[in-house]
Amino acid sequence: MRLVKRKAGALQTRSIGAWNELGALDWPARLRLAWAIACPLPTDMQWRYTPRPTWAWPLYYPYRWLGILGDGLSTLTQLMGRAWGEQEGDCTGIRPAFPPVVADNQLDNSSPQHYNPTTHEKSEAAWPPLDYDSEGDHASLMRIGIDARILGYRRAGIGQYTYRLVEALAEIDQDDEFIIFQSRRDGKEIVQHPNFHRQTLYTPSHHRLEQWVLPLELWRHQLDLLHSPDFIPPFHRRHASVITVHDLGFLHFPHFVTQDSAQHYGLIDQAVRRTDHIIAVSGSTKTDIINLLGVDERKITVIHEATTPDYHPRVTPDEMAAVSEVCERYGLHRPFILFVSTIEPRKNLPTLLRAFRRLRDEYRVGVELVVVGERGWLSEDVFTLTTELQLTEAAKFLGRVPAHDLPLLYNAAMVHVHPSFYEGFGLTPLEAMSSGTPTIVSNVSSLPEVVGDAGLLVAPDDVAEWTVAIWRLLTDSALRETMIEKGLKRAATFSWEKAAQQHLSIYRRFRNGR
Claim to verify: residue 153 and residue 296 sit in the same structural domain: yes
Residue-wise pLDDT tens digits, 465-498: 999 999 999 999 999 999 999 999 999 999 999 9
Claim to verify: residue 295 and residue 418 sit in the same structural domain: no
Residue-wise pLDDT tens digits, 187-197: 788 999 999 99
Claim to verify: residue 196 and residue 237 sit in the same structural domain: yes
The dihedral region occupied by 441, where left means phi > 0, alpha psi between -120 and 50, and beta the remainder, is: beta
- The predicted pLDDT at position 250 comes to 86
Residue type, 135: E
Residue 50 has pLDDT above 50, yes or no: no
Alpha-carbon gap, residue 421 to 418, rounded angstroms: 9
Residue 71 has pLDDT above 80, yes or no: no
Residues 514/115, Cβ–Cβ less than 8 Å: yes
Domain membership of residue 242 (yes or no) is yes
Three-class SS state of 18: coil
Domains in the chain, number: 3
Residue 112 has pLDDT above 80, yes or no: no
Claim to verify: residue 47 and residue 166 sit in the same structural domain: no
Domain membership of residue 133 (yes or no) is no
Domain membership of residue 190 (yes or no) is yes
Residue 164's domain is classified under what CATH number? 3.40.50.2000
CA distances from residue 101 to 85, 97, 158 in whole angstroms, order as listed:
16, 13, 43
Boundary (domain end) residue, out of 63, 79, 102: 63
Domain membership of residue 87 (yes or no) is no
Residue 510 vs residue 409, higher pLDDT: 409
Claim to verify: residue 487 and residue 357 sit in the same structural domain: yes
Claim to verify: residue 241 and residue 321 sit in the same structural domain: no
Q: What predicted TM-score, i.e. pTM, was given to this entire model?
A: 0.72
Alpha-carbon gap, residue 511 to 443, rounded angstroms: 38
Claim to verify: residue 364 and residue 232 sit in the same structural domain: no
Domain membership of residue 115 (yes or no) is no
Boundary (domain end) residue, out of 11, 39, 63: 63
Claim to verify: residue 365 and residue 469 sit in the same structural domain: yes
- The predicted pLDDT at position 59 comes to 52
Q: Which has the minimum average pLDDT: 93-97, 202-206, 211-215?
A: 93-97
Residue 90 has pLDDT above 80, yes or no: no
Alpha-carbon gap, residue 113 to 85, rounded angstroms: 22
Give the chain's mean pLDDT. 79
Residue 413 has pLDDT above 60, yes or no: yes
- The predicted pLDDT at position 129 comes to 36
Give the domain range for residue 12. 2-63
